[in-house]
Structures are given as structure tokens and as C-alpha cells.
DNA sequence: TATAATTATCTCGAATTCGAGATAATGAAG
DNA sequence: CTTCATTATCTCGAATTCGAGATAATTATA
């Protein structure tokens, strides 16, 4: 096989990887979404609430960094969660530019009930692989992701 | 280690897999999007055009199945590509419910120019892994994805 | 101190996607 | 042939996300 053909095959392989990656995550996401939907939350709202539940109060700006959405979107999501009484805004006394998002009692109670179930749902959704296969995939995905990120 | 702790660890592993998978694909998608943006196309438009370019004319309904978007979204995307003169609608003579999306000369010329570059861009983006690592990951992702899909 | 640059949040309009339902054509069953 | 179910496309309104830019507070610099 000459170099050109070899290169073409490699390109096909990468393209296939990209497609399979996209499809696999789509399937998983769909299941996770189903798991969350009954709470009246979408994945973004859940992610924000989970962040505050697990990591404590967060400046609104930090939320966007960790959940990877734009600042204008964060405002929107926090608004929604605030309307649902699951979190509230609390101004920072030391820096008046900053607003913290703080989980409410209702939010904590909801997550106490729901988060364990959520984890076990993801466990079931990902049961197509053995534990050691998952560990390897995590490692490889990190390699792949960090490389792409660093470009 | 007792059974409960073991189970907790497994759940953490699945959760981590889900997060790493999401992040890796985000990084890759961002790069791919950059590659396409200069054409004035978003990823969905590109996917639809690519489908018709590589697989020939498609009933509009089939496009939605393959690119995984809702029928109402397909109408919107095809409208946009038609306005850009990259494809056009052609009624099916045998079944008057069906409309084919057909690539135009301009669309073909664009893809002739761009598609090879696109593949090589993805090759570069995915260069964090060796070929045999990619092959393994494809295989494992399929296992994971099919399982989740079948739930 | 005054000025400039940076940071955090928000507003607004646009783009994209979806779901529900409308319309029209086809196929199946009696 | 009529009626009913199915299929393909489209319309419409709502939800979500983004980017550009506004506002206000803070920090750095001359």
C-alpha cells in the first residue's frame, strides 16, 4: 500500500471515530435526559444545580466556566432555577460585581432525593462496558480531548 | 471493600466516563466547527450537504433520520441551503408526498473543494491517538452506544 | 488621584432546534 | 369504492443558546 492510500485510510478512520463518538454520546445523552426530564429540569439546569449542590455556592461567572456555557446563557438558566425556587442569588459583600448562586433548602432536598438515583441511572446507561474498559476509555478520551483542545 | 463501596466506585466511574466523553467531544466539535465556519455553514448544514454529496439525492425525510434532527428542523435547514443555492428541492414524480433534496452544481463544486480539506482537518484534530487506539475506541464506543440505545 | 484596562453580570436580538398539529398523498381493509 | 391508518412535509410557537454590547465595580498604571 502506498503512502497516499495509507493516509486516506487514516483519514477515514478519524472521520469514523468522530461519527461514532458523536452517535454514542447522542444515545447516552438521550437516556440521561429522560432520567432528568421528570424533575422538570433540562440537562443544563440539572448541571448547574448539581454543581452548586456538590461544590457549594458559586459566583455566576464560575458556573459558566464549569458547565461550559456563555455568560448570557447562565443568566437565563439561573433565572429559571430561581423561579423554580431551587436556588437564589446572593450578592458578594466583598466584591459588588459578583453574585453568588446559592442552593435553597428545596434545591438541596430535591438533590438529596434525586442525585443518587441519577448516578445509578448513568451506571445502568453505561453498563455496555466493563469497569476496566471504562477506565481505559476515560484515559484515551482524555488524551484525545486534551490534544484537540490544545490545537 | 464491601459491596456498597464497590458499587459506589463503579457509579463514580460511569459518571466520570459520561463527563469525559462529553468534554472530549466538545473539544473536538469546537475545532470541527471552526473548520466549517469559514464556508458560511454550520455543522448541521454541512452534515446535510455532505450526506447528499456522498450519498446522492435524498428524500427530505431520510435526511432527518440520518443526521438525527426533527422533521421541522430539516425543513429549516434545507430552506437555508436552498437559499444559498447549494441544493434544491425536486418533487418525486412517483409519490407526490415526497420531495428530494438535490445538490446543485455550486454545491458539488464547493464540496469537491472542501470535503478533502475537511477530512484532513478531522485527521489532525484526532491525532491525539494512534491508529490502533482509534480502532479500539471505535469498537468500544459502538458497544457503549448500542447498549445505551437499546435500553 | 485620574485614567485605563479588566472583570462580572445582564440585556437584547438572532439562530437553531424541537414538538404539536395541519395538510396532503398514499396504502390497506372491508 | 369508501374509510382509516400511515407517511412526508410543512407551519407555528416555544425553548435554548449564543454573541455583541451595556453597565457597573474593581484593579492596575501613569
- CA nearest to nucleotide C18 C1': residue: B70
Q: What is the pLDDT of residues A53-91, one digit of tens each?
A: 999 999 999 999 999 999 999 999 999 999 999 999 999
- Name the nt closest to A73 by C-alpha to C1': D17
Residues of chain B found within 8 Å of residue A16, distances taken between Cβ atoms: 138
State percent of chain A over pLDDT 70: 99
Q: C-alpha cell of A117?
A: 438515583
Query: Does at least one atom of strand C sit less than 7 Å from the CB of B59?
Result: no
Q: How far apart are CA A37 and CA A48, in angstroms?
A: 15
Q: What is the pLDDT of residues B65-95, one digit of tens each?
A: 999 999 999 999 999 999 999 999 999 999 9
CA distances from A51 to A30, A57, A79, A86, A120 (A): 21, 9, 16, 13, 18
Domains of chain B by range and CATH?
Answer: 41-149 (1.10.10.10)
CA of A85 to C1' of D3 (A): 52
Q: How far apart are CA A48 and CA B66, in angstroms?
A: 32
Place of cell 469498537: B139
Distance from CA of B53 to the nearest CA of A (A): 16
- Whether residue A66 lies within 8 A of chain B, CB to CB, comes out as no
- Whether residue B92 lies within 8 A of chain A, CB to CB, comes out as no
Residues of chain A found within 8 Å of residue B125, distances taken between Cβ atoms: 14, 18, 148, 151
Distance from CA of A24 to the nearest CA of B (A): 4
Model-level ipTM above the cut of 0.85? yes
CA angle B42, B48, B51 (to 5 degrees): 135
Q: How far apart are CA B62 and CA B43, in angstroms?
A: 18
Q: What is the pLDDT of residues B8-20, one digit of tens each?
A: 889 999 999 999 9
| pLDDT at residue B95, rounded to an integer | 96
Cβ-proximal residues to A74 (8 Å cutoff; 6+ apart), any chain: A48, A60, A61, A63, A64, A67
Amino acid at each position: 500500500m502506498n503512502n497516499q492510500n495509507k493516509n486516506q485510510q487514516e483519514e477515514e478512520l478519524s472521520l469514523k471515530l468522530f461519527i461514532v463518538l458523536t452517535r454514542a454520546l447522542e444515545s447516552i445523552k438521550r437516556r440521561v435526559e429522560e432520567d432528568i426530564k421528570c424533575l422538570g429540569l433540562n440537562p443544563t439546569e440539572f448541571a448547574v444545580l448539581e454543581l452548586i449542590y456538590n461544590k457549594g455556592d458559586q459566583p455566576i461567572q464560575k458556573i459558566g466556566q464549569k458547565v461550559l456555557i456563555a455568560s448570557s446563557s447562565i443568566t437565563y438558566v439561573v433565572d429559571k432555577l430561581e423561579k423554580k425556587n431551587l436556588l437564589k442569588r446572593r450578592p458578594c459583600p466583598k466584591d459588588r460585581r459578583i453574585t453568588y448562586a446559592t442552593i435553597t433548602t428545596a434545591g438541596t432536598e430535591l438533590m438529596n432525593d434525586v442525585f443518587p438515583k441519577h448516578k445509578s441511572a448513568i451506571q445502568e446507561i453505561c453498563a455496555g462496558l466493563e469497569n476496566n474498559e471504562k477506565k481505559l476509555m476515560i484515559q484515551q478520551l482524555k488524551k484525545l480531548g486534551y490534544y484537540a483542545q490544545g490545537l
